[in-house]
Structure 1
């Protein structure tokens, strides 16, 4: 497994292809592959510049990407764009400050179909949290396999203080 910083952009095309393969397959089959490709590539260009950005990639024996994880240190003040507003609404400012700000934010975690069932998602999460014991991530409430995995690995959902949303927040064990 290799760890990357901003140099991930040297592998952006390959990572983007892997991302699209993961995030346009069930339960994400409603996503348009080309729009998904464009949006991820644009985000990656920006995300790689964030303070604390790191990426992990593991390859199969044939050299293809088998899985990946990207993330960074959550800055203060806590953002409100993308899903962050829902997180703030769901957990409340006090919990967000206590649990998420300054913690490692797992932004993208993907395991390609040919590598599923090998423990790769667990290994990627362990690699990311080895140096960042305070970590968190979001899961779409319809991604039942990922939710089951996070719970199995001991990731916990903080107390919900606001309205339900289609995202769940998990913090590292």
Structure 2
């Protein structure tokens, strides 16, 4: 029986759909199991393909992983992904955790994040830059050992001070 038989479009498998599957089937692992042990989306797909390459009965999983790999290869082949964009990299605080992200419009981004949580996000600092994706990637890599999920981190005061030292990066 395919693992994802109840998901209509396998290319739309998300962390949320994995969580729903887990809630409906206690034998199915929680989404955090996949991400913590196997990596983020593209790496996760490669890892799964490596793990099941010689096993039978996983045709549905192979199909899903191949769709994900193709999607990320197309994204990486697009020259615009390498183009630097001006904007801001921000540090926010909500529910006891810190969020590091980027935005062209800080006010709109703050409103978007606040809508997702039960309390408003508190803006702690922003760095103006001409390469917001690259600068955000730097901070994500620097704090990768403190990552909780996605762009959310468990930082300490010295981490926050290090981020706040930067005002502009051009």
The TM-score range, normalised by the shorter chain, is: under 0.3
Q: Which of the pair is proportionally richer in helix?
A: 2
Q: Which structure has the larger Rg over C-alpha atoms?
A: 2
Q: What is the TM-score normalised by the length of structure 2?
A: 0.26
